Chains A and B, each alone.
Chain A
């Protein structure tokens, strides 16, 4: 896989960087870290919205903020494909990047580890390591998940591995379909 496209890079630079180096077990320092994570996420979300490029919803699943859950989606051929998104903050965070999971796509693509954890580019890890502790969750989403979705979803859709929910006749989720 190539390096990131220019749009990704420019976006990444606009996300505020973090400063506190603390993992989930660091107590108060982690709280501080968490605050910074939120701030970065808010800025990233606002940025996406202003560019009409909103593509995920996440929220902390536990009070410590070590588990996150949410949804992410991708529009292909005017059809919105939406997937669940979950990930844990590893103990060695921020030295180790969080492993983003798309459990719905588990076993459907090669670019994924067991359990739905997405495979990142070779460039990701060194970049992350280099920018520890300045990169946070927002950066991981921007650098990891967004390119992955853009690359894999069209393939998955074209190969028929992933079908739009309208086609699957899941009427319960029809409200999520958007047609322009």
Chain B
């Protein structure tokens, strides 16, 4: 057999023989223990753990509690019950036993605390206290989670040994902190000069302390201050009496300099805080004020406010009666004197001065002006008008201002004289001064003659034309009306507005009363250019210097300008009167004449042959002729005069009183003149011009009459007596003209006219083409021979004329047909008939030389004339 097998067999045998271990269940064990206790083999109390698995004896529990306390110093019973694993009841019981046996242990609020624990805590507190200089007990208590009373009871025996500090009112302080607060209290107490309520005092100190400690600062109880204060009082460091425990009355101010130095910051705060000032501070203030004032001879109130003087003016006035109080500063007399002297200098020299530059920089403009009011020289100068104070700080001597004024005025005149071509815009052109207006008017006058003003632009051309035309059409009534208007206007806008807003140059005149070159800005510029010194002065702010000066000068300049205008206006008024008189005179004559001539036309109208076409043409011819010759000058003079009158009314000065003789004007000229007239006048004038272009003299006369009446003049009507005298003078005039006449053609016309006056008593104005008809009409009235002579003469004249025109070329057309006199619907042979007739005349006398013809005509006419006269 295998040995190994045998060995195994043996081993198996042995294993089976081995005693098997005996095992007891927990239940059995518990039963056993119970049995033991029953049998009183275990005669002591056995405790079991909270898990129920262990038995523990009381001794073991106690020893475990002690070891736990030793380990941690402070143990809560609940924690203990947990850590040991025994029911809390037993732990409490045994803990009491333990604490009662050990005097160093205390059982508080379910905690066992050993004295060594308090020692360590105290050490910690001390460390913190040394860091923070003060700790509140409440803070500590909260941190340790114990009652503050307990803390106090624990800490009190340790203060001075473990804790280097002081316990006061629930706070722990380090000696240094206590010393500091003590010093504060002491300083404050010494600083106080009036009776003081303690609580207010403490609260302010508290605020101060909190400020110093910043956020972490702990409120110091007033009792702490109180106890410190009491100690100080007891120690005699501060003197005074304490009333009712709350009112402190300091007795004297002792040795204040010491603590001023020591606690200057607190004191300053307190001094500001309290309304009353301690003497020392007052002295310091006084010294400071004195030194500043004596050095600078002025002091600003702000400085005093900084020094803590609440009412600087009273303070200074009571101390320095010789000083003057200004708005922000207080000045000494010497400063005023200095200013006074310099102002005096400036006034004497005729210069100017800025008080602000002389005065110290801290002076405000208000102060400067006030200082000036204190200067005797300035006052005197102002009274006597030798100086002007402008812009609060500028003093200008009268001579200086006058000089300035004169120069500006001169410049103004220069501007006016230089006229439109200068920089000045057109709106200032005709209003600035009489000189300028004269110049302008002169230009316009010359413009009439030369048909265009030399210097003007297109715009000015138009304007001058308007001016000229408007002038002739003004009359007396209008003058009166307008003067009334002006007076009314004058009240509203005294002196300034001379212009009538209805007048032609409306837009321009509305701006006249405020001429642009007199505006403040331009004045400032002018002054600046004249006096560069001022410019330098006011470089930073030209308004301050120049604006007041300009404001001062402007009304004066405006006044002078106004006066000039007024003078110009009165002159104009005279001229206007003159003008209107002239116009009236001229009109009377011309108007009567035209009426006279018109009557002569009646002769042809009542003719039975009037129905004949050719005579109708004749009538048209006669009317046209009359309108052209007699009416046109009337219209021209009327328009020119009215225009001038208009201008005068607007303040223009016309050159002299002479109105230039009406020159040839086109209808366009007339229309533009008429349009230049104001309002209703213009309408009427335009109407008149239109009738002038028409074919009826009657229409013209009626419109002319209307216009004349509208413009305030009188239109004379022709009566018998007047007609006779006129006719007589006309006849005389004519006969003298005939006598003097040398031109055969015009002589014929005059002779025919004269004959008409003679025979019909009518003044006939006939154009050359109508002469033959006029001559034919005289056939019945004259004896044959005379008529024959006249006819011959007429023929001869026609021949002459035709010859003269043939010399230049076109013969027949010029003579007979004229331009377009053939009326519409004339018979076909009309033109041809005229031509034939004229041809006969021409061929009949064709052989006669021009010279002989003229001589023959003269002779025959003379004969005729002689016969006729007789």
User: Which residues of A does B touch, CB under 8 Å?
Assistant: 31, 34-35, 38-39, 41-42, 45-46, 48-54, 57-60, 63, 65
Contacts and interface: CB of A to CB of B under 8 A. Distances in A.
Interface of B: 1-2, 4-5, 8-9, 11-13, 15-16, 18-23
A48 B13 CA distance: 14
A48 B20 contact: yes
Contacts of B9: 38, 59-60
Contact of A63 (B1, B8, B12, B21): B1
B12 A45 contact: yes
Q: What are the 8 closest A-B residue pairs judged by CB atoms, nearest first?
A: A38-B8, A49-B20, A54-B20, A52-B23, A45-B15, A42-B15, A42-B12, A31-B2
Q: Which of A48, A49, A60 has the most B CB atoms < 10 Å from its CB?
A: A49
Nearest to A54: B20
A96 B2 CA distance: 25
A105 B774 CA distance: 199
Contacts of A63: 1
B11 A42 contact: yes
B21 A52 contact: yes
Nearest to A39: B8
Contact of B23 (A38, A42, A45, A51): A51
Contact of B12 (A41, A49, A50): A41
Nearest to A60: B9
A46 B23 contact: no
B5 A34 contact: yes
Q: Which of A46, A58, A65 has the most B CB atoms < 10 Å from its CB?
A: A46
B21 to A, nearest CB: 5
Given A35-B8, A51-B23, A45 B16 contact: yes
Nearest to A56: B16
B16 A31 contact: no
Given A41-B12, A42-B12, A50 B21 contact: yes
Given A42-B11, A52-B22, A57 B16 contact: yes
Contacts of B19: 49
Given A52-B22, A54-B20, A46 B15 contact: yes
Nearest to A43: B15
A87 to B, nearest CB: 16
A57 B20 CA distance: 13
29 contacts: A31-B5, A35-B2, A35-B4, A35-B5, A35-B8, A38-B5, A38-B8, A39-B8, A41-B12, A42-B8, A42-B15, A45-B12, A46-B15, A46-B18, A48-B20, A49-B15, A49-B19, A49-B20, A50-B21, A51-B21, A51-B23, A52-B20, A52-B21, A52-B22, A53-B20, A57-B16, A59-B9, A63-B1, A65-B5
A146 to B, nearest CB: 15
Given A38-B9, A45-B12, A48-B20, 11 more contacts: A35-B4, A35-B5, A39-B8, A41-B12, A42-B12, A49-B20, A49-B21, A51-B23, A54-B20, A59-B13, A63-B1
A151 to B, nearest CB: 23
A53 B22 CA distance: 9
A36 B310 CA distance: 120
A74 to B, nearest CB: 15
Q: Which of A39, A42, A50, A52 has the most B CB atoms < 10 Å from its CB?
A: A42
Contacts of B1: 63
B2 to A, nearest CB: 5
A39 B5 CA distance: 10
A113 B53 CA distance: 49
Nearest to B23: A52
Contacts of B5: 31, 34-35, 38, 65
Contacts of A50: 20-21
Contacts of B2: 31, 35
B1 to A, nearest CB: 6
